[in-house]
Structure 1
Amino acid sequence: MHFAKALVSGVVTAQSIALLTLGANGIATAANEVGGCAVRSASTVASGFGVLENLAFDGTGGLLLSETSFGGAGGGLVRLTPDGSRVTVAPVETPGGLVVSGGTAYVNTGNTFASGVSDTPDGAIVAVDLATGAVHTAVTGLRMPNGLAQLPDGGFVVSRDVGGATTLTRVAADGSGAHTLAPELTSTNGLAYDPGRRKLFVSTTFDAATVIAAVDLEHPDAAPARITLPGFGPLNSADDLTVGPDGAVYVALNTAGTVVRVDPEAGTYCTIARDLPFVTSVRFGAGPGWDPKSLYATGFLGAVTRLAP
Structure 2
Amino acid sequence: MLRAGCVVAALAVSCTVAVAGPAAAAAGDGCGPWTSTLVTSGAGMLENLEFDGAGSMVLSQSAIVGQGSLLTMSPDGSRKTLVNNVNGPGGLVAQDGAVYFTTGNSTVSGLFGIADGSLGRVDTSDASVTTVADSLVMPNGLVALGGDRFLTTRTLADPGLTVIGRDGQTTVVRRDLGTVDGLARSGRNVFVTTTFDLTTAIHILDADDLFGPVRTITLPGFGPANMADDLTVGPDGALYVAFNAGGKVVRVDPEWGTSCDIASGLPLTSAVKFGAGPGWDPNALYTTSFLGDVHRLDRVSGGPS
TM-score by structure 1 length? 0.88
Distance 1:143 1:234 in 2: 22
- Equivalence map 1:238-249=2 (5 Å): 238-249=228-239
User: Can you give the 5+ residue segments of structure 2 that lack an aligned partner in the other structure?
Assistant: 3-9, 19-23, 26-30, 300-305
**Structure 1 residue 30, shift from structure 2 partner:** 2.1
**Aligned residue in 1 for 2:71:** 78
**Aligned residue in 2 for 1:186:** 178
Q: Which deviates further from its counterpart, 214-223 or 57-66?
A: 214-223
Q: Secondary structure at the match of 1:180?
A: strand
Select which of 63, 77, 81 maps to 1:88: 81
- Equivalence map 1:39-188=2 (5 Å): 39-69=33-63, 71-91=64-84, 92-163=86-157, 165-176=158-169, 178-188=170-180
User: Can you give the 5+ residue segments of structure 1 that lack an aligned partner in the other structure?
Assistant: 3-25
State yes or no: 1:275 paired with 2:269: no
Distance 2:68 2:11 in 1: 36
Distance 1:27 1:206 in 2: 20
Higher relative contact order (CA 8 A, sep 6+): 2
State yes or no: 1:31 paired with 2:48: no
**Structure 1 residue 28, shift from structure 2 partner:** 5.6
Distance 2:11 2:210 in 1: 24
State yes or no: 1:214 paired with 2:204: yes
State yes or no: 1:292 paired with 2:286: no
2:225·2:245 contact (CA, 8 Å) conserved in 1?
yes
**Aligned residue in 2 for 1:262:** 252
TM-score by structure 2 length? 0.89
**Structure 1 residue 180, shift from structure 2 partner:** 2.1
**Structure 1 residue 27, shift from structure 2 partner:** 10
Q: Which deviates further from its counterpart, 250-259 or 154-163?
A: 154-163
Distance 1:290 1:42 in 2: 15
1:27·1:208 contact (CA, 8 Å) conserved in 2?
no
**Structure 1 residue 217, shift from structure 2 partner:** 2.1
Distance 2:104 2:110 in 1: 9
Distance 1:109 1:58 in 2: 18
Distance 2:279 2:149 in 1: 30
Q: What are the superposed Cα offsets for residues 29-85 of structure 1, whole Å, 9 maximum, x if unpaired?
A: 42232523113100100111110000000111100000023x332111100001222
**Aligned residue in 2 for 1:21:** none
State yes or no: 1:252 paired with 2:242: yes
Q: Alignment length, in residue pairs?
A: 281
Distance 2:105 2:297 in 1: 27
Identity %: 46
Distance 2:239 2:65 in 1: 30
RMSD: 1.5
